[in-house]
Structure 1
Amino acid sequence: MNSLLTNQTPLPAIVKPYRDHLGQSHVLVIAKASWRISTDRMAPAEKQVPLHMEPVRLRIGDFELDTAQCEAVRQRLDQQVVWIDHDLMPPKPAFDVIVAGYATAPPKHAEMFIDAGIKIGENTGSIRAHTPRCWQKSWLGYRPRPLSPVVRRVPVSYAFSDWSEGFDIDPGKDGPDVVAYLPWIESLHASAKRRGHARAPAGLGYWPENAAHRRIHAGKYDDEWQKNVSPHLPKSFNPCFFNAAHPDLQLKSAPLPGTAIRLVHLAPQAILDCSFPHLNLSAQGRTAGGEMLVPVSLKPDTLTIEPDEDRFSIVWRALLPAGSAQSAVRTVRLFRS
């Protein structure tokens, strides 16, 4: 049975039943709040970003692309890309930092690549965003050839990185007459170099479920699971699967209030500064028998930054024991604490 929510905050929030991979039943509480980057203040309640009940998807053809970029992804313009994930998952073990935006060259300073990144306290994530390039064969072997002298905007999405759902960087794989394009975004880490460019998949945005660093936590879906567990999660499932940020941007814990956040070349302004806000949320359950349970603190576990929208959003989550019969949670009160 679903629990009812008494929301004593102006924030979007929801409660729903949740059964974990160990078979335990819970009441999942989710809340979300949004702030303006430029003012570092909470947006008015009517402008709060709603909870996403399903992923926000974009066609590659709907991104802001220049002529050379459109040509490089001509065969993929109708491909759907998850831009922002849905919010209906349980608490995440790590703290996700996700940028839904573009690497952006400073005005009047467009070059063949843009170095962009984010810094949160002592944690950083960085990429190099290139103009479209393809492999060109020469007597020295294959070398990257730029298709445009400058680049101004590059989406920081997995769809433009080096992996199966992005770009295949191996020249000649599909035949000598097939043009092989290089990824648009690459890691700046010098430890992952091959043929003069980075091999490690790079990106500051959301990563899908079949990305390698998420897939390893999915568990085993074998015959035993099919016969005895399906449709529930296997016991070998690891909740780290729910973390959808790039590994560089999965923090061990949420930033402390006041922690400085700096965005570099991720908006028309070369540098944007803001700070992690101070907001504590708690949830208190009431059972069918009328007992008020001990309040539980919600933990922030996802920061989504949308530089073009001048906003960032944080999602808080908590699990309450569902109980049964007279101890079953029937109502949940959400409040600032």
Structure 2
Amino acid sequence: MCIQESCGKMFPVIKCKAAVAWERGKPLCIEDVDVAPPKVHEVRIKIIATGVCHTDWEYLYETEKGMKFRPFPLVLGHEAAGVVESVGPEVTKFSPGDKVIPLFLPQCGECKRCQCPKTNHCRKNWENTQMGVLADGTSRISCKRQQVFQFLGVSSFSEYTVVPDTSLAKIRSDAPLDKVCLLGCGVSTGYGAAVNTAKVEKDSLCAVFGLGAVGLAAVMGCQVAGAKRIIGVDINPDKFEKAKAFGATECVNPRDHSKSIQEVLVAMTDGGVDYALECVGSPDVMSAALESTADAWGTCVIAGHLRQLYGYYKVTRKLPFSVWVMRLKLDEFVSYSLPLDQINVAFGLLKSGKSIRTVINL
């Protein structure tokens, strides 16, 4: 095993398995990779479980949606949980053995955005991580003697990865990592969209557009907030039973109606819903969600857009992981659990609509 010096400390280079995307539009390949030691303000993590999110699929296969370019080869994955293996110099908040959730959105706690209660959009190392590298402009993952870029600064489709200490949340030692990994993206985004951004009120009327993981979490948030009517909207009727288990009072398929879905909802609610939560990311659906709200007071939240990250939780400080483990139906989000070598199967299940979340166990 190779040994590298990291700012005065000697750490081994870890050889492990990872799912590498060598080029856009091609299936992932399981490869032997080297994961370098953590540098200043970095933490190396043993990934235990990672969810397969639609964002991972989009960056690999979608070319016409205006997705921001990211270089290849690339290790995808950003919704995960694991255990700290080692820490770099000047890391004070984490120790080997800590259970953690890596975060694609940093929280330095010092910048103007971190001090502002109106946003959680810290930009510490943001430009670098968006281009697949860490603070020093390089990745910690390599394969076949070439650099492999890190997706959103995380890359959880690898048995080990290295992340900045500002992009990490410590969680309870008894947290089930194969469940709480889902808090690393979709569940927190949808739930927070309802309770933090929309601030859904008791006895209100709500509509949730899109019943994937984000949408189901939004449904759950509406229910927890006390909404009396929660209408789920999706073109896949197979999702309706699950949506009702999460709290939807009824579900509507736009394809079953000759009128637009916004017209249908306005008629169903005698003037429009109090809160509409768009959880798809489609401009057409965004417009429909807005037009389905009551014109005098309705609120529309675009949870399917990048700006609605983590449901506006200050993720390293205020995201209540210890409470969520007890309150949220995390088990209900997991449709399949698969090993890393079945990652392409997981993508297929996601694309077909047969999976809310597939969790990859590493």
- Do Structure 1 and Structure 2 share a fold, with TM-score over 0.5? no
- With CA pairs under 8 Å and 6+ residues apart, which has the higher RCO, 1 or 2? 1
Larger % of helix: which? Answer: 2
TM-score (norm 2): 0.26
TM-score (norm 1): 0.27
Q: Higher strand proportion, which one? A: 1
* Higher CA-based Rg: 1
